[in-house]
Structure 1
Amino acid sequence: MLSLGLVNLSFASDTELKLIAPEFTGLITEAGDGPYQKIMQQVALRAGIKYQERVYPQKRAYMSFLKQQDSCIYSFTEPASERLGQQQIIVSAPLNTFSMYLFTAKDSAPIQQLTQVAPTANVLGVLGYDVWYQRAGLPQAGIQLAYTSSDEHAVGMVNLGRADMMVSFMPDMRKFADQVSYDAAYPLLISYDGITCHNTEANAALLKVISPVLGQMRRDGTLAQLLGESYLPWQHQAFKKWQQQYTAEMPESSELDSD
């Protein structure tokens, strides 16, 4: 077993991870100093791996990942799996978890279900998140979004009465939490941000090195420290149940992390 572990680490160390980075509010920046990017820097240091990161706007990032069949991307596990097939996608242990909510103006009654949204409601979304709005069922519920450039702009529009509500995510919206109303018990979806990769031998070897390091960083508090107020705790078994729905089973994947 020790010999096999050393072989895997050596293989991963000689293979460069091609990582596409979508610009996520407060998490990934063009300057390379977002919390997710700092986590990946620490992972590379601890695991002894090399990686090349390219930052793009979200839609371009996702489309680039779909076309580049040896690449990886932060998040986008479910959309990629449904687009390419479950056996074509693998994912690391999580960097974080996230949830989508409907947000209304401060001190207003929170919206708990899509069925509460009037057909004529002016609902704001942020450019680039369409694959997630689709997954949450907004188009299927007859909700037609108007788009804005950022959560900050959407919050301002809602509180000025220029929009009825907005749809966005926690932890992205934590810095605006005192300016909006929402019900934390009623997310539209819950998911995880891991390193999502095309299922190649090289990527699988890299993720088998990366995932235990991410698990260690969760347990020793490094993820919470680097993410700050954006950190949302999760249970490993809940992640494993989610992972099995959307990605190919990796050898020894049950040993990659534990509570």
Structure 2
Amino acid sequence: MLINRALTGLMFGMLSQWSVAAVDIIGLVIPGLHEKNGSGVYDKIITRTVIDNGQGKLRVLPPARALSEFETCTNCCMSPANKNPDFYSYGSDVVQSDPMNTAKVYIFTAFGSAPINSLNALKGKTVGIRDGMPYGNKFDKAGLKLSSVSDIEKNVKKLDGGRIGAFVAYVPDAYLAFKGMGKPEYTHDKENPIAVHPDSMVCRGVDASFLSGFNAKLDSMKASGELNKLLGDSQVN
């Protein structure tokens, strides 16, 4: 009886410690990629790599709140993000995972118009952006007239109505928005994005085994073709 109680206590202690050690993963709400109901592509990738085995828990928040919470959290990760210094200013305590996908930033103009691939060409236009999303230091310092909304779909409608002259958005996010609206891709210079970087997780204060385990499982998903299958239309090369 005493042995059973001791074993029960030990197991309870181990489970409690494991629960405390679970990494807090903060996802930015991006339709199709991170959804509050867990149905997004990146939700599924993270679930299969570290949530199902109890190593982490995932919360999906609006971009501005997600970025703010990551600034002060410990034993935590944020997705999608990276350590591109033009976009983020993390210290040496933040580490980056292998990429789940690639992100590209484009300037979108009205369907059938001439493509724009430089920030200088946006001077004099009202440019739509999404609340809380980082577009990089170069963009922030360009001195553009900006109009911020909660989602890409609103910028598409504002562009259709002539209330903005262009909008800046990430891909695959924008492609998923166009598809969801039943619209063709609006004009953009596909060969010349204004930025390209990996869609990874960035983590602070996590055990090295957490990140190495995530990367190993991601490699396995790539090798088996499971990652490509999950990404589907969201895959960016």
> Could you state the TM-score of these two structures normalised by the residue count of structure 2?
0.82
2:161 match: 160
Give the secondary structure class of the aligned counterpart of 1:111.
coil
Percent identity, aligned pairs only, is 27
Give the secondary structure class of the aligned counterpart of 1:218.
helix
2:46 match: 40
Partner residue of 2:219 out of 211, 215, 221: 215
1:170 match: 171
Aligned length: 213
1:74 match: 79
Contact 1:105–1:179, Cα closer than 8 Å, also in 2: no
Cα deviation code 1:50-89 (max 9, x no counterpart): 211122111111111110122111123237895332x211
2:186 match: 180
Partner residue of 1:190 out of 190, 196, 212: 196
Contact 1:155–1:179, Cα closer than 8 Å, also in 2: no
Structure with the largest fraction of helix: 1
Q: Highest Rg: 1 or 2? A: 2
Give the secondary structure class of the aligned counterpart of 1:84.
coil
2:104 match: 99
Give the secondary structure class of the aligned counterpart of 2:117.
coil
Partner residue of 2:63 out of 53, 58, 61: 58
The whole-number CA distance in structure 1 between the counterparts of 2:154 and 2:105 is 18
- Following TM superposition, the consecutive aligned residue runs of length 4 or more in structure 1 with deviations greater than 6 angstroms are none
Contact 2:70–2:76, Cα closer than 8 Å, also in 1: yes
The whole-number CA distance in structure 2 between the counterparts of 1:104 and 1:168 is 11
1:213-252 mapped onto 2 (5 Å cutoff): 213-233=217-237
Change (3 A) 1:32 1:208: same
Give the secondary structure class of the aligned counterpart of 2:37.
coil
2:135 match: 133
The whole-number CA distance in structure 2 between the counterparts of 1:38 and 1:141 is 36
The whole-number CA distance in structure 2 between the counterparts of 1:215 and 1:193 is 15
Contact 2:32–2:39, Cα closer than 8 Å, also in 1: no
The code of the aligned residue for 1:54 comes to R
> Could you state the TM-score of these two structures normalised by the residue count of structure 1?
0.76
For structure 1, list consecutive stretches of 5 or more residues without a partner in the other structure: 1-12, 234-259
1:252 match: none
Give the secondary structure class of the aligned counterpart of 2:60.
strand
CA RMSD of aligned residues (A): 2.2
Shift of 1:149: 1.8
Shift of 1:144: 2.5
Change (3 A) 1:230 1:82: closer
Shift of 1:45: 7.1
